């Protein structure tokens, strides 16, 4: 229970369905950053209040160290390499559906449940009824074994239905705004976060067309391919980051949205993960649909070994980014752009 409306309503629904429910708050992060107070104490109080109102036992799991070692460190390493990792996906893979699950099972739980918008059956992962909220992209690196021990009570509900349920049952979190920014830190941008761990130097911004320096940036690691804002280029026309040169701390930008460096028809993947762990023996699917980021549309694509070829060229692909694989309603797994 994070203290938000989704996990609160999940607990409520499970209780109504007759499960013996125990609430757990995972304390993954408690450090405040400049300009952003970490809301963990408020979130903990919110989740404890809901658990109390629902009459649930409640525990706090302190995962700060494993979270830092397994998620934050990975994230910082990736950024330092110039990649764009997704900490939410890593949190699910390493913490929620791994350490948290194991800890719960060790405490005597039969199943775990989270407030994700997703569905699961027999260790398979399916998209949620609410397509706008579907969170299977974030769950695309979870294992079948973990899913067999997992309930997603919100899979057949829309966000507005969830909010209405919270309101109907007098849960005070009904009106709580969605958390923004980085999940575990609160209202803070990635740049402010990374600045704590990475010493970045200002560097040159180069125009791809003219190969001329047109401005400076705060550190190449802070930028993402396809990003539009955030550097001091001396022009009013929008520039897009098309290339990051981490070694020389340079960013290459272009005003041309059609710049070929922004668009890829085909990409190389690494660390392919299949939710169904028999896929390695049965052979991975060749025809599938790909999702290049949370909430992005499903794009038909062909997978040959580790090469993914889209039917149409795609923009905004960065190293380290996760591509999730689907077969219509089912999420099959994912790979990382190499």
Partner 1 sequence: MIYLDHAAATPLLPAVRIAMEPYLSDQFFNPSALYLPAIRVREAYENARQELAMALGAKSAEITLTAGATESIHLAFQPFKNVIISDMEHPAVRAAAAARPNSRIVRRGYITEAIKPDTELISVALADSIFGSIAPIAKIAAAVKTERANRKKSGNNTPIYLHTDASQAPNLINLNVARLGIDLMTISASKIGGPKQVGLLYAKAGVELTPLISGGGQENGLRSGTENVAGVIGFATALKHAQGHAHANQKHYNKLTDEFYKHFHRDFNLLDEYCILATRTGKTLANFITIIAPGIDAERLVYLLETKGVYVATGSACSAKNHEENPTLKAYGYRPEWIFGYLRITLGSTNTLDQMQPAAEAILDAIRTESKRIPADTLKFIQQETKRLAIV
Residues carrying an active site annotation: 91, 183
| Stretch binding partner 1 (CB under 8 A), from 55-63, 149-157, 250-258, 308-316 | 55-63
Pick from 35, 55, 283, 297: which binds partner 1 (CB under 8 A)? 55
| Stretch binding partner 1 (CB under 8 A), from 39-47, 142-150, 193-201, 291-299 | 39-47
Binding of partner 1 by 63 (CB under 8 A): no
Q: How far is the CB of 23 from partner 1 (least distance, A)?
A: 11
CB 147 within 8 A of CB 93: no
Taking each helix axis from N to C end, the angle separating 5-16 and 159-168, rounded to the nearest 10 degrees, works out to: 70
Pick from 17, 20, 31, 45: which binds partner 1 (CB under 8 A)? 45
Binding of partner 1 by 1 (CB under 8 A): no
Q: How far is the CB of 60 from partner 1 (least distance, A)?
A: 9
Pick from 38, 39, 53, 179: which binds partner 1 (CB under 8 A)? 53
Binding of partner 1 by 108 (CB under 8 A): no
> Starting at the edge strand that comes first in sequence, how are the strands of the sheet with 203-207 ordered?
232-233, 213-217, 203-207, 250-254, 240-245
Q: Scanning residues 116 to 175, which ones bind partner 1 (CB under 8 A)? A: 170
Return the number of the residue (5 or 157) whose C-beta is nearest partner 1: 5
Distance CA 159, CA 130 (A): 7
Distance CA 234, CA 304 (A): 43
Binding of partner 1 by 57 (CB under 8 A): yes
Distance CA 153, CA 173 (A): 17
Going by C-beta distance under 8 Å and a sequence separation of 6 or more, which residues neighbour residue 53?
Answer: 170, 171
Binding of partner 1 by 49 (CB under 8 A): yes
Distance CA 42, CA 39 (A): 5
Q: Half-sphere exposure of 285 toward its Cβ, with a 13 Å CA cutoff?
A: 19
Residues contributing to the site for partner 1 (CB under 8 A): 41, 44-45, 48-49, 52-53, 55, 57-58, 170
């Amino acid at each position: 229970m994070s203290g938000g409306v989704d996990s609160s309503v999940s607990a409520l629904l499970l209780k109504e369905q007759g499960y013996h429910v125990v609430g757990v708050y995972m304390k993954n992060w408690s450090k405040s950053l400049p300009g952003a107070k970490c809301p963990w104490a408020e979130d903990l109080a919110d989740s404890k209040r809901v658990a109390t109102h629902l009459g649930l036992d409640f525990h706090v799991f302190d995962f700060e160290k494993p979270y830092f070692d397994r998620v934050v460190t990975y994230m910082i390493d990736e950024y330092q390499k110039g990649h764009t990792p997704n900490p939410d996906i890593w949190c699910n893979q390493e913490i929620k559906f791994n350490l948290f699950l194991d800890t719960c099972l060790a405490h005597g739980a039969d199943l775990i449940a989270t407030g994700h918008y997703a569905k699961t059956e027999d260790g398979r992962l399916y998209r949620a009824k609410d397509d706008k909220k579907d969170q299977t992209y974030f769950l695309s690196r979870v294992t079948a074994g973990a899913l067999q021990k997992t309930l997603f009570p919100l899979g057949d509900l829309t966000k507005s239905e969830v909010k209405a349920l919270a309101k109907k049952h007098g849960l005070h979190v009904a009106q709580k705004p969605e958390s923004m920014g980085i999940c575990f830190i609160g209202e803070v941008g990635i740049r402010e976060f990374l600045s704590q761990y990475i010493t970045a130097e200002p560097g040159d911004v180069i125009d791809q067309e003219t190969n001329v320096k047109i401005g400076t940036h705060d550190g190449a690691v802070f930028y993402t391919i396809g990003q539009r804002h955030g550097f001091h280029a001396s022009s009013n026309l929008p520039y897009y980051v098309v290339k990051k040169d981490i070694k020389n701390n340079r960013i290459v930008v272009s005003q041309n949205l059609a710049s070929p460096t922004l668009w890829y028809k085909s990409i190389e993947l690494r660390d392919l993960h299949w939710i169904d762990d028999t896929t390695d023996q049965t052979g991975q699917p060749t025809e599938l649909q790909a999702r290049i980021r949370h909430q992005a549309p499903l794009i038909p694509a062909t997978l040959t070994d580790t090469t993914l070829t889209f039917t149409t060229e795609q923009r905004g692909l960065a190293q380290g980014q996760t591509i999730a694989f689907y077969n219509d309603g089912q999420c099959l797994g994912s790979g990382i752009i190499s």
